Amino acid sequence: MVASSNVLSLHVLLYYSRFNYLCIYVKGIMFLSRFWRDMYWQLVLSVPILLAAEAVLTRGACLELSLHKYRDGSVGDDGPHATALQDLHSQKDVNI
């Protein structure tokens, strides 16, 4: 379980670093908008970028999590790489 949690932590760290780069980009836009002295441009340029970045990162994180959960394909295995869903299915089989 330790190896799989390390892989998951690495994926979370990668998505966090991508988000940091996007935040730096938005901060640059905000810095440029100070020269324009117009809050309208700051909102027009930064809000859609943040919303799109959040959507992309959320979709990517969900996809990585689902791929990580079912990568080994050992359904019903109670070994060290079994997921919580696989454990639940194997417990249902035993309790029936």
**Domain extents for the chain?**
2-95
The pLDDT, as a whole number, for residue 2 is: 45
- pTM as predicted: 0.32
Q: By three-state DSSP, how is residue 38 classified?
A: coil
Q: Are 87 and 76 in contact (CB under 8 A)?
A: no
Per-residue pLDDT of the chain (96 residues; tens, 9 = 90+): 444 455 455 555 556 666 666 777 777 776 766 665 666 767 777 778 888 878 777 777 777 766 666 655 544 455 555 555 555 555 555 555
How many other C-beta atoms can be found within 10 angstroms of the C-beta atom of residue 29? 14
